[in-house]
Structure 1
Amino acid sequence: MVRGTAENGYSCVPAFFYMFETLNVGSSYSIMVNKDRHRFVYYFLAFGACIKGFSHTRKVMEVDGTHLHGRYEGMLLRVVAQDTENHVCPIAFCVVDKENDASWTFFFEKLKEIVFNEPDLCFLSHRHKSITNGIANVYNRAHHRYCMRHLGENLRVNHHCGDCLYLYYNAAKAYSLEEFDNHFVEFKNKCPAAAVVLEYDIGFEKWSRGHFRGNRFDVITTNIAESSMLC
């Protein structure tokens, strides 16, 4: 059975949805429409096969968004996971007008209907404030960590520490706290300003594998979310 909702004055269901419900049993969709302009604002979609497949994946969900180019523009939000053989498993998609608190909250609220809020779950993303706010408000029992690669690029651009960035990556990937301390102290000696940001502004638990308090699945970047958007 397909779980579908229409909000904000949207009453008629186009023929597309009837076909969708017939061919994609177990799927979930939700559409929010501006009743004054008769145009949709948000459209969430999760195929039944993807919903079922999530039970066989690692409980690490990588979220990201990308700009849509063309007549209507907007953003495509996406969440993906990996199974035990490292295959990319798309979970849900959402077309929105812009990337802000309202759109990300809508996305996570609909996602919560198929992926439950539990302490074993972890979200991985870049440091967009609306993603952080959405996860904090909707998935308050889950973990949220930052992509190692995005954070490293920010350090390179904003703190000009490209020559010793390898020390940051070594610290981020370290499994033991002793190994982490060795790499981070060396990084701190060479890039003290960047080290202050990592330690105090962001916090070790947000980007360091050794400091993460949940289950470790060897997933520390959002690469698969971005690569799957290019397909």
Structure 2
Amino acid sequence: MLKAKYANGLPGPRAVDIPAIVLDELKVSITYMKAWYAREAAIIKTRGSDECGYKLLAVYLHLLKKGNPGTIYRLEYTGGGVAPKQFKYLFFAIGACIAGIKHMRKVVLVDGTVIKNKFKGVLIAASMQDANFQVFPIAFAMVDAENDLAWTWFFRQLSMIVPNSKDLVLVSDRHKSIYIGVHNVYPQAFHGACAVHIVRNVRAKFHGEGISNLMGKAARAFNFGDFDDSFKEIALRNKKCAAYLDAIPREH
């Protein structure tokens, strides 16, 4: 009964909602655990298991490259030989995205987000911006965590399509591992901290009327005078916030 609800990429009902669906359609009461196991079985039958998905990853990437000329990918795993292979890192950039890089502004934004499925991990995305201020994705990666090894590995792969140069700008949040990766792979590029992330941190850490707005205004100032005016106002309203921002180098 549930299989059709998860087919064709549909998210389907949550386990907590299934007892009510079964009661309505079959007039039978079931426990939450039975609903949870039924949901898992329905998903596996319609989409396959996560384990099978990882096994098919190499085939999928090969077909992706064959169907999209110019696509590059790097799939790394541990084990091999006698030991079973286990997924470690994945990087891919589709050919059409690589071809479009030469038309973009030379500013690359990178960020990672936590994957909440069975095997966890982090999804990393790199994007640029075109002349019409539209977001243009250029590369993606899956790694185990946001650590020094993973970020350095990602930047090494990214450098194959966006080489290190003095006129390149990289923008990210202030994660220490990102700074280490940029230092190792992109020593010539300028590295800036994302104002949106800093504004969110200020809003979360320091309570005060309009402080986060002043922070955004300071970050986007085009001259030292405007920057100092906004920064002095922040210091007057919240000294702890001013100290927090003072710890960030001005060029960032």
In structure 2, what is the Cα distance between the partners aligned to 1:46 and 1:17? 11
1:181 maps to: 228
Deviation at 1:69, TM superposition (A): 2.4
Amino acid at match of 1:86: F
Please report how far the alpha carbon of residue 117 of structure 1 lies from its aligned counterpart in structure 2 after TM superposition: 0.3
State whether structure 2 residue 68 is matched by structure 1 residue 21: no
Kept in 2, the 8 Å contact 1:79–1:90? The answer is yes
Match of 1:65 among 103, 112, 119: 112
More helix by share: 2
* Structure 2 CA distance for partners of 1:21 and 1:197, relative to 1, 3 Å: same
Give how far 1:14 is off: 4.5
Aligned to 1:74: 121
> How far 1:162 sits from its partner (Å)?
4.9
1 CA distance for matches of 2:58 and 2:113?
Answer: 27
SS at structure 2 position matched to 1:80? strand
In the TM superposition, what is the alpha-carbon distance from 1:148 to its structure 2 partner? 1.0
1:139 aligns with 2:186: yes
CA distance in structure 2 between the partners assigned to 1:196 and 1:84 by the alignment: 37
1:198 aligns with 2:242: no
Map 1:1-231 onto structure 2 (within 5 A): 14-35=58-79, 36-199=83-246, 201-206=247-252
Unaligned regions of 5+ residues in structure 2, if any?
A: 1-56
Q: What is the TM-score when the length of structure 2 is the normalising length?
A: 0.72
Residue 204 of structure 1 aligns to a residue in which SS? coil
Deviations 1:46-78 (A, max 9, x none): 111111111111111111111222222211111
1:153 shift after superposition:
2.0
Secondary structure of 2:138's partner? strand
Q: Between the two proteins, what is the percent identity of the paired residues?
A: 38
Aligned Cα root-mean-square deviation (Å)? 1.7
> Do 2:58 and 2:75's aligned partners in 1 also have CA atoms closer than 8 Å?
no
Q: Residue 7 of structure 1 aligns with which residue?
A: none
Long gaps (5+) in structure 1: 1-12, 207-231
The answer on whether the counterparts of 1:99 and 1:130 sit within 8 Å (CA) in structure 2 is: yes
TM-score by length of 1: 0.78
- How much does 1:158 deviate? 2.5
